[in-house]
Structure 1
Amino acid sequence: MKTIISTENAPSAIGTYSQAVKVNNTVYLSGQIPLEPQSMAVVDGGFEAQTHQVFKNLSAVCTAAGGDLNDMVKVNIFMTDLSNFATVNEIMSQYFAQPYPARAAIGVSQLPKGVDIEIDGVMELPNLN
């Protein structure tokens, strides 16, 4: 049985997808880009500000699903410039505690709305039975 996860604390979907889908204790999070949830505008401030907003958006979806960022087991990071790799590592360490999730960092030519970063992932909720 799958449950659709949706929250007003993260940007609404801008296409034919859900913010996340929960199947049993596993939550599949759609890619988040650096949109401010209320205005749906890309945040100002460059790559660092965009990265912080993406983690805030992911956190909101995780919370809506009954978990938090530290329940994520896999993270995929898409960047238009891989020279920002060290910046992503530094910012990610502010949002995750060890042990960190498995991760991929992928360079892409472009992302929706011309942003510099998008992150998706998989979260495994604790078994509360």
Structure 2
Amino acid sequence: MSNKSVIQTDKAPKAIGTYSQAVKAGDTVYLSGQIPLVPETMEVVTGDFAANTRQVFENLKAVCEAAGGSLQDIVKLNIYMTDLANFATVNEVMATYFQEPYPARAAIGIASLPKGVPVEMDAVMVLS
């Protein structure tokens, strides 16, 4: 028997491909990439890069909560940006969502993301 279960919530965007919002295996939750989609409309949030980043964190937060945790339970965060010049903005916004100890993190510059958005994040969360 598998101890794997799918996490699904209407408070985060539906998957736009062949993946689950998150998968829980034991006490570890693997959160799929979130982009700045508004869950109710499935449209990209309007606004600047900071607004996009806030929406991504809100989406991750909703999936964390659906799994029985919170953003503070994230141990690894990967951030994908189409322009690494936005690195400082990510740090500013992230500081409003996390307190120390911060998760391990990678910031990766890439050519493009789904729906032409400027930022996507995925994460690994451990529940206690």
TM-score tier by shorter-chain length is over 0.9
Count of paired positions: 126
SS of the equivalent of 2:92 reads helix
Q: Which amino acid aligns with 1:110?
A: S
Q: Identity of counterpart residues, as a percentage?
A: 67
Correspondence for 2:21 among 19, 37, 49: 19
Q: Give me the whole-angstrom Cα distance separating, in 2, the residues matched to 1:121 and 1:49.
A: 20
**1:59: which partner in 2?**
61
Q: Give me the whole-angstrom Cα distance separating, in 1, the residues matched to 2:123 and 2:46.
A: 24
CA shift digits 1:55-105 (9 cap, x unpaired) = 000000000000000000000000000000000001001001100000000
**2:48: which partner in 1?**
46
**1:8: which partner in 2?**
10
Q: Give me the whole-angstrom Cα distance separating, in 2, the residues matched to 1:121 and 1:38.
A: 22
Runs of at least 5 residues in structure 1 that lack an aligned partner in the other structure? none
Q: Give me the whole-angstrom Cα distance separating, in 1, the residues matched to 2:118 and 2:107.
A: 13
Taking structure 1 as the reference length, the TM-score comes to 0.97
- Displacement of 1:46: 1.7
Q: Which amino acid aligns with 2:118?
A: D
2:106 is equivalent to residue 104 of structure 1? yes
Q: Give me the whole-angstrom Cα distance separating, in 2, the residues matched to 1:26 and 1:79.
A: 25
Correspondence for 2:119 among 101, 104, 117: 117
- Displacement of 1:44: 0.3
Q: Which amino acid aligns with 2:86?
A: N
SS of the equivalent of 2:87 reads helix
SS of the equivalent of 1:123 reads strand
Q: Give me the whole-angstrom Cα distance separating, in 2, the residues matched to 1:96 and 1:61.
A: 16
Q: Which amino acid aligns with 1:100?
A: Y
